[in-house]
Amino acid sequence: MTKPVVDLTIVGSIGIDTIETPTEKQEEILGGSVSYACAAASFFSHTGMVGVVGTDFPQEFRDTWSNMSIDLEGLQTVEGKTFRWGGAYHENMDNRDTLFTDLGVFESFSPELPEDYKEAPYLFLGNIHPALQLHVLEQTRDPKFVLIDTMDLWINIAKDDLAKVISRCNMLTLNESEAQLYTGEHSLTQAAKLLLELGPEYVLIKKGGNGSMLFTKQDIFLLHAYPLDTFKDPTGAGDTFAGGLMGALAASGKTDKKAIREAMVYGSIVASFGVEEFSLERLKQLDRDEIEIRVAEFKEMCRI
Amino acid sequence: MTKPVVDLTIVGSIGIDTIETPTEKQEEILGGSVSYACAAASFFSHTGMVGVVGTDFPQEFRDTWSNMSIDLEGLQTVEGKTFRWGGAYHENMDNRDTLFTDLGVFESFSPELPEDYKEAPYLFLGNIHPALQLHVLEQTRDPKFVLIDTMDLWINIAKDDLAKVISRCNMLTLNESEAQLYTGEHSLTQAAKLLLELGPEYVLIKKGGNGSMLFTKQDIFLLHAYPLDTFKDPTGAGDTFAGGLMGALAASGKTDKKAIREAMVYGSIVASFGVEEFSLERLKQLDRDEIEIRVAEFKEMCRI
């Protein structure tokens, strides 16, 4: 059997997380931006993962990814310990404190793309150091659409590198506070205007439970979040959203505004499932029919 | 000339406000829930105002309302001072501190409806003591649709009265933190379920710049807020939204879900203009064409 062609390459962090919410604590669970993003994308397209784990990484976690048909040729296993992260959410679940960070093998990560990943038409540069994101971008062969995510740390300590890689991407995604931090503008529309000046055609600002806003120089698209009765763990929601978006966009084969709006809906809905449980627990049980049912319900909720 | 029939009666507070934002301070400006709500409703329907002012109330403010064709037959003028309120917004414009409250003639306000207001098919019970809201409701003759607004104060000190009047209304509106305060539920979908148990067919939760959510026992409608480049003063935005909603609904003559969703869009857009300036400064310059242009633009922003 020939290996299926990778439509979408995703690079990012892989971590073993310990997470405390006001009601629950889970230790040593599967996390990391590329894990959430690939899991979400896998519902729609053939997705290749680029990341690093240590020799202590459990086979069970690897199996979780394989069972979701994520391509693992780009996954490096390096002698040493896998990146570990601990976080505790406040009562409102909107804010969290980092309890510990132990970089392990992630500290010297140099992402290398397998040959067929280089040809993938869609690329998602998940949240890692912008110099590494640039290194990935330089290995690719003229992708059709590149999305870049980042975080406050890189805005604070590597803004020049970040600006350089953003200028070469089609879409930048960041959350509300990061957009404000990057630009010094409280107004998101003003912040988006400045971010568009960096070069990307699209700026996607994530507002958690309050949805997201997609800006171009010409227009704005406003998307609510699917209203959940309860949710257990918001970790990775932004990565799941962006991964689902890119998976759905890759499946469409398109890059126009209409396709992007539709892909955002799919990303948002997959993320709404993801936060119902810790880690990938909900996503690994999820099927495409459940996604389609919630997408239809959600569209009805947004119909004026 | 015969006096036009009032389609919509609105009751609420009238105040002379002093407002500080991080960049500006305005003293002795026209405020109050019924002032904002009637101004917004006046773009769509013939609206009657029920409120009280003191003998110190400036003729200029009265003229502002008259020029917007608001019916003032229900406005009482009582010997004494008009209600005054002062507030200061924090840097993020989301939170504010009350600097002073001087009730004046508002302290002994007893709202009385002129004869033709009692027949108005639409009624908006703006934020005043729930016992007074009930007193207004009892003067009306079987209105088609009644909206009630409230605030944290009445939830804290007059919850039984509030529950009684809510049970007799078609729609309850409150903001996110008030819904959480009333029910003790952090999740808005859970809070809405409990509030629907009080009797209203609709619960409308306002989230400021993050839009609003309309709940029934069967479904949910999600509406983003129109994204503004800059805004000067959020005071009265919720009253403007609700007033515009009720004005547009009264103009439609309907009370079904489709008409309510459409009316919410109009309310939201009028509110987006209102916050561009202090007091009614923007609304008194606004015309229906500007509203329609922004409504069309906004619908395009929400189209999936």
Model pLDDT, residue B104:
96
Q: Give the closest of A213, A262, A303 to B227, CB-based.
A: A213
Report the top-level CATH class of A8-302. alpha beta
Q: pLDDT band at A92, cuts 50/70/90?
A: confident
Which chain B residue is nearest to residue A300, measuring alpha carbons?
B221
Question: Which residues are within 8 A (CB) of A69 and not within 5 positions of it... i.e. 6 or more apart?
Answer: A42, A46
Which residues in chain B are closer than 8 Å to A190, comparing Cβ atoms? 229-230
- Is the pLDDT at A105 greater than 80? The verdict is yes
Interface check for B76 against chain A (CB to CB < 8 A): the answer is no
- Is the pLDDT at B295 greater than 60? The verdict is yes
Tell the burial category of B257 from Cβ atoms under 10 Å away from its Cβ (0-12, 13-18, 19+). middle
| Average pLDDT, integer, range B91-100 | 87
Model pLDDT, residue B92:
79
Which residues in chain A are closer than 8 Å to B304, comparing Cβ atoms? 223, 261-262, 265, 299, 302
Q: pLDDT band at B1, cuts 50/70/90?
A: low
| Average pLDDT, integer, range B71-97 | 94
CA nearest A179: which of A200, A157, A204? A204
CA nearest B94: which of B13, B176, B27? B176
Q: Per 3-state DSSP, what percentage of chain B is helix, strand, and coil (rounded to 5)?
A: 40, 25, 35
- What phi-psi label fits residue B191: left (phi over 0), alpha (psi between -120 and 50 degrees) or beta? alpha
Model pLDDT, residue A1:
53
Model pLDDT, residue A4:
72
Which tokens go with A159? 């803004």
Interface check for B5 against chain A (CB to CB < 8 A): the answer is no
Which residues in chain B are closer than 8 Å to A221, comparing Cβ atoms? 301-302
Question: Which residues are within 8 A (CB) of A64 and not within 5 positions of it... i.e. 6 or more apart?
Answer: A30, A280, A284
B252 or B92: which leads in pLDDT: B252
Interface check for B92 against chain A (CB to CB < 8 A): the answer is yes
pLDDT in tens, B108-129: 999 999 999 999 999 999 999 9
Which residues in chain B are closer than 8 Å to A219, comparing Cβ atoms? 300-301
In this structure, of A172-181, A257-266, B149-158, B225-234, the range with the lowest mean pLDDT score is: B225-234
Which residues in chain A are closer than 8 Å to B224, comparing Cβ atoms? 211, 222-224
| Average pLDDT, integer, range A257-268 | 98
- The minimum CA-CA distance between B36 and chain A, rounded to whole Å, is 24
